[in-house]
Chains A and B, each alone.
Chain A
Amino acid sequence: TQLLEQSPQFLSIQEGENLTVYCNSSSVFSSLQWYRQEPGEGPVLLVTVVTGGEVKKLKRLTFQFGDARKDSSLHITAAQPGDTGLYLCAGAYRYNQGGKLIFGQGTELSVKP
Protein backbone atom coordinates (compact mmCIF):
# COMPACT_ATOMS: atom_id res chain seq x y z
CA THR A 1 0.00 0.00 0.00
CA GLN A 2 1.29 3.39 -0.94
CA LEU A 3 1.08 5.67 2.05
CA LEU A 4 1.81 9.20 3.05
CA GLU A 5 1.80 9.64 6.80
CA GLN A 6 1.21 13.06 8.27
CA SER A 7 1.98 14.12 11.80
CA PRO A 8 0.64 15.39 13.99
CA GLN A 9 -2.99 14.64 13.15
CA PHE A 10 -4.24 17.45 15.38
CA LEU A 11 -2.55 20.61 16.56
CA SER A 12 -4.02 23.33 18.75
CA ILE A 13 -1.80 26.33 19.42
CA GLN A 14 -1.96 29.97 20.47
CA GLU A 15 -1.60 32.84 18.06
CA GLY A 16 2.05 33.76 17.56
CA GLU A 17 3.47 30.27 18.09
CA ASN A 18 5.49 28.39 15.48
CA LEU A 19 4.66 24.90 14.27
CA THR A 20 5.85 22.19 11.91
CA VAL A 21 3.80 19.54 10.12
CA TYR A 22 5.50 16.47 8.72
CA CYS A 23 4.65 14.27 5.75
CA ASN A 24 6.57 10.99 5.43
CA SER A 25 6.65 8.02 3.10
CA SER A 26 8.87 5.09 2.21
CA SER A 27 8.27 5.86 -1.48
CA VAL A 28 10.02 8.35 -3.71
CA PHE A 29 7.83 11.02 -5.26
CA SER A 30 8.44 13.05 -8.39
CA SER A 31 6.63 15.97 -6.77
CA LEU A 32 4.77 16.76 -3.59
CA GLN A 33 2.01 19.24 -2.99
CA TRP A 34 0.50 20.89 0.05
CA TYR A 35 -3.15 21.84 0.21
CA ARG A 36 -5.17 23.73 2.79
CA GLN A 37 -8.84 23.06 3.36
CA GLU A 38 -11.15 25.34 5.31
CA PRO A 39 -14.45 24.10 6.77
CA GLY A 40 -17.14 23.68 4.13
CA GLU A 41 -14.75 24.16 1.22
CA GLY A 42 -12.58 22.10 -1.06
CA PRO A 43 -8.80 21.79 -0.66
CA VAL A 44 -6.79 24.63 -2.18
CA LEU A 45 -3.31 24.10 -3.58
CA LEU A 46 -0.66 26.02 -1.64
CA VAL A 47 2.58 24.85 -3.21
CA THR A 48 4.29 22.16 -5.28
CA VAL A 49 7.86 21.06 -4.57
CA VAL A 50 9.71 18.98 -7.13
CA THR A 51 13.46 18.95 -6.40
CA GLY A 52 15.08 17.10 -3.50
CA GLY A 53 16.04 19.62 -0.82
CA GLU A 54 13.87 22.33 -2.34
CA VAL A 55 12.56 25.03 -0.02
CA LYS A 56 9.65 27.28 -0.94
CA LYS A 57 8.22 30.14 1.08
CA LEU A 58 4.71 31.52 1.00
CA LYS A 59 4.62 34.48 3.42
CA ARG A 60 4.89 32.85 6.88
CA LEU A 61 4.73 29.29 5.49
CA THR A 62 7.92 27.43 4.59
CA PHE A 63 7.75 24.16 2.66
CA GLN A 64 10.65 21.76 2.31
CA PHE A 65 11.05 18.64 0.19
CA GLY A 66 13.39 16.03 1.62
CA ASP A 67 16.68 15.33 -0.11
CA ALA A 68 15.54 11.82 -1.03
CA ARG A 69 12.10 13.08 -2.10
CA LYS A 70 10.37 10.78 0.38
CA ASP A 71 9.25 13.37 2.88
CA SER A 72 8.24 16.99 3.28
CA SER A 73 7.58 19.49 6.00
CA LEU A 74 5.48 22.60 6.41
CA HIS A 75 6.62 25.19 8.94
CA ILE A 76 4.41 28.10 9.96
CA THR A 77 5.99 31.05 11.73
CA ALA A 78 3.93 33.18 14.10
CA ALA A 79 0.68 31.37 13.42
CA GLN A 80 -2.49 33.40 13.11
CA PRO A 81 -6.17 32.40 13.51
CA GLY A 82 -6.52 32.66 9.73
CA ASP A 83 -4.12 29.72 9.41
CA THR A 84 -6.71 27.43 10.98
CA GLY A 85 -7.69 24.57 8.71
CA LEU A 86 -6.86 21.09 7.47
CA TYR A 87 -3.45 20.77 5.84
CA LEU A 88 -3.00 17.94 3.37
CA CYS A 89 0.14 16.72 1.68
CA ALA A 90 -0.11 14.79 -1.59
CA GLY A 91 2.54 13.03 -3.63
CA ALA A 92 2.82 12.17 -7.30
CA TYR A 93 4.92 9.24 -8.44
CA ARG A 94 7.69 9.43 -11.01
CA TYR A 95 5.70 7.67 -13.67
CA ASN A 96 2.37 9.32 -14.20
CA GLN A 97 -0.33 7.08 -12.78
CA GLY A 98 -3.31 8.61 -14.47
CA GLY A 99 -2.67 11.96 -12.88
CA LYS A 100 -3.40 10.46 -9.47
CA LEU A 101 -2.07 11.75 -6.20
CA ILE A 102 -1.47 9.94 -2.94
CA PHE A 103 -2.94 12.02 -0.11
CA GLY A 104 -1.93 12.06 3.52
CA GLN A 105 -4.63 11.89 6.19
CA GLY A 106 -4.25 15.55 7.00
CA THR A 107 -3.29 17.73 9.95
CA GLU A 108 -6.10 19.64 11.63
CA LEU A 109 -4.67 22.95 12.83
CA SER A 110 -6.46 25.25 15.23
CA VAL A 111 -4.91 28.60 16.07
CA LYS A 112 -6.53 30.35 19.01
CA PRO A 113 -6.41 34.13 19.39
Chain B
Amino acid sequence: DAGITQSPRYKITETGRQVTLMCHQTWSHSYMFWYRQDLGHGLRLIYYSAAADITDKGEVPDGYVVSRSKTENFPLTLESATRSQTSVYFCAAGQGAYNEQFFGPGTRLTVL
Protein backbone atom coordinates (compact mmCIF):
# COMPACT_ATOMS: atom_id res chain seq x y z
CA ASP B 1 0.00 0.00 0.00
CA ALA B 2 2.11 2.90 -1.30
CA GLY B 3 -0.32 5.72 -0.43
CA ILE B 4 1.22 8.80 -1.95
CA THR B 5 4.39 8.79 -3.99
CA GLN B 6 6.35 11.78 -5.18
CA SER B 7 9.04 11.92 -7.80
CA PRO B 8 11.75 12.84 -8.02
CA ARG B 9 12.77 12.91 -4.35
CA TYR B 10 15.64 15.27 -5.11
CA LYS B 11 16.08 17.66 -8.01
CA ILE B 12 18.70 20.24 -8.87
CA THR B 13 17.92 22.59 -11.72
CA GLU B 14 18.96 25.95 -13.06
CA THR B 15 17.18 29.28 -13.11
CA GLY B 16 14.80 29.57 -16.04
CA ARG B 17 14.29 25.84 -16.62
CA GLN B 18 10.91 24.17 -16.51
CA VAL B 19 10.53 21.52 -13.82
CA THR B 20 7.67 19.13 -13.15
CA LEU B 21 7.16 17.42 -9.83
CA MET B 22 4.99 14.33 -9.89
CA CYS B 23 2.47 13.16 -7.32
CA HIS B 24 0.49 9.93 -7.42
CA GLN B 25 -1.99 8.45 -4.94
CA THR B 26 -3.01 4.81 -4.80
CA TRP B 27 -6.28 5.69 -3.10
CA SER B 28 -9.11 7.65 -4.77
CA HIS B 29 -9.19 10.61 -2.41
CA SER B 30 -11.05 13.56 -3.90
CA TYR B 31 -8.76 16.33 -2.74
CA MET B 32 -5.11 16.78 -3.56
CA PHE B 33 -2.77 19.52 -2.45
CA TRP B 34 0.67 20.94 -3.12
CA TYR B 35 2.58 22.65 -0.32
CA ARG B 36 6.02 24.12 -0.01
CA GLN B 37 7.89 24.05 3.27
CA ASP B 38 10.56 26.63 4.07
CA LEU B 39 12.30 27.48 7.31
CA GLY B 40 10.36 30.16 9.09
CA HIS B 41 7.25 29.78 6.91
CA GLY B 42 5.86 26.40 7.80
CA LEU B 43 3.67 24.70 5.21
CA ARG B 44 2.27 27.03 2.56
CA LEU B 45 -0.43 25.91 0.16
CA ILE B 46 0.44 26.40 -3.51
CA TYR B 47 -2.52 24.80 -5.33
CA TYR B 48 -5.23 22.33 -4.54
CA SER B 49 -7.76 20.25 -6.41
CA ALA B 50 -11.20 19.07 -5.34
CA ALA B 51 -11.53 16.52 -8.16
CA ALA B 52 -10.25 15.74 -11.63
CA ASP B 53 -10.24 18.88 -13.79
CA ILE B 54 -10.97 21.14 -10.79
CA THR B 55 -8.06 23.13 -9.42
CA ASP B 56 -7.71 26.32 -7.44
CA LYS B 57 -5.02 28.62 -6.15
CA GLY B 58 -3.69 28.50 -2.66
CA GLU B 59 -1.65 30.98 -0.71
CA VAL B 60 1.46 31.12 -2.96
CA PRO B 61 0.51 30.12 -6.55
CA ASP B 62 2.69 32.50 -8.57
CA GLY B 63 5.17 30.74 -10.84
CA TYR B 64 3.45 27.37 -10.57
CA VAL B 65 1.00 25.47 -12.77
CA VAL B 66 -1.00 22.36 -11.94
CA SER B 67 -3.26 19.96 -13.77
CA ARG B 68 -5.37 17.02 -12.74
CA SER B 69 -6.64 14.98 -15.65
CA LYS B 70 -6.89 11.82 -13.52
CA THR B 71 -7.99 11.54 -9.92
CA GLU B 72 -4.78 9.81 -8.87
CA ASN B 73 -2.25 12.22 -10.37
CA PHE B 74 -1.54 15.85 -9.54
CA PRO B 75 1.66 17.16 -11.17
CA LEU B 76 3.13 20.54 -10.25
CA THR B 77 5.09 22.47 -12.86
CA LEU B 78 7.46 25.34 -12.30
CA GLU B 79 7.30 27.09 -15.66
CA SER B 80 10.56 29.03 -15.29
CA ALA B 81 12.30 28.12 -12.07
CA THR B 82 13.69 30.86 -9.84
CA ARG B 83 16.03 30.63 -6.85
CA SER B 84 13.18 31.63 -4.55
CA GLN B 85 11.47 28.37 -5.51
CA THR B 86 14.21 26.36 -3.82
CA SER B 87 12.23 24.48 -1.20
CA VAL B 88 10.83 21.15 -0.09
CA TYR B 89 7.57 20.36 -1.85
CA PHE B 90 4.91 18.10 -0.37
CA CYS B 91 1.92 16.61 -2.07
CA ALA B 92 -1.06 15.51 0.02
CA ALA B 93 -4.37 13.79 -0.57
CA GLY B 94 -7.45 14.01 1.58
CA GLN B 95 -11.14 13.53 1.95
CA GLY B 96 -13.77 13.10 4.58
CA ALA B 97 -15.73 15.35 6.86
CA TYR B 98 -12.67 16.39 8.86
CA ASN B 99 -10.38 17.24 5.94
CA GLU B 100 -7.71 14.80 7.08
CA GLN B 101 -4.71 14.91 4.79
CA PHE B 102 -2.08 12.31 4.00
CA PHE B 103 1.27 13.49 2.81
CA GLY B 104 3.88 12.16 0.42
CA PRO B 105 7.58 11.97 1.35
CA GLY B 106 8.44 15.28 -0.34
CA THR B 107 10.66 16.53 -3.15
CA ARG B 108 13.68 18.60 -2.26
CA LEU B 109 14.19 21.08 -5.10
CA THR B 110 17.27 23.25 -5.49
CA VAL B 111 17.32 26.00 -8.11
CA LEU B 112 20.82 27.25 -8.88
State A93–B42 Cα separation when bound (angstroms): 19
Which one of A40, A45, A100 has the highest number of Cβ atoms from chain B below 10 Å of its Cβ?
A: A100
Main secondary structure, interface of B, reads: strand
Candidates B98, B103, B106; contact of A44 at CB < 8 Å: B103
| Stretch from A14-22, A56-64, A71-79, A102-110 contacting the other chain | A102-110
User: In the docked arrangement, what's the CA distance between A80 and B41, Å?
Assistant: 27
Using C-beta atoms within 8 Å of the partner chain, give the interface range for chain A: 20 to 34
- Find residues 49-103 in chain B having any chain A CB closer than 8 Å to their own CB: 50, 56, 58, 90, 92, 94-95, 97-103
Interface of A is mostly: loop
Q: List, in ascending order, chain A residues with CB within 8 A of B102's CB.
A: 45
- Distance between Cα atoms of A41 and B104 in the complex (Å): 8
CB within 8 Å for A101 and B101 given contacts A42-B90, A106-B42: yes
Task: Please measure, in the bound complex, the distance between the C-alpha atom of A99 and the C-alpha atom of B103, giving whole angstroms.
Answer: 14
Let me know if B16 is at the binding interface, CB within 8 A. Answer: no
Measured CB to CB, the closest approach of chain A to B60, in angstroms, equals: 13
Using A43-B103, A98-B31, A103-B42 as known contacts, say yes or no to A33 and B48 having CB atoms under 8 A apart: no
What residues on B are CB-neighbors of A92 within 8 Å?
Answer: 98-99
Chain A CB within 8 A of B105 CB: yes
Residues of B within 8 A of A100 (CB): 33, 45, 48, 58, 99
Interchain CA distance A44-B100 in the complex, whole Å: 10
Most chain A beta-carbon contacts within 10 A, residue among B31, B33, B101: B101
Distance between B36 CB and nearest chain A CB, rounded to angstroms = 12
* Alpha-carbon distance A31/B6, docked complex (angstroms): 28
- Give CA–CA (A85, B104) in the complex, Å: 17
User: How far apart sit A104 and B44, CA to CA, in the bound complex (Å)?
Assistant: 10
The 4 closest A-B pairs by CB, nearest first: A42-B103, A99-B31, A92-B99, A31-B98
Further contacts, 16 of them, CB under 8 A, given A31-B99, A105-B42: A40-B105, A42-B4, A42-B103, A42-B106, A43-B43, A44-B103, A88-B42, A88-B43, A92-B99, A99-B30, A99-B33, A99-B95, A99-B99, A100-B45, A100-B99, A105-B41
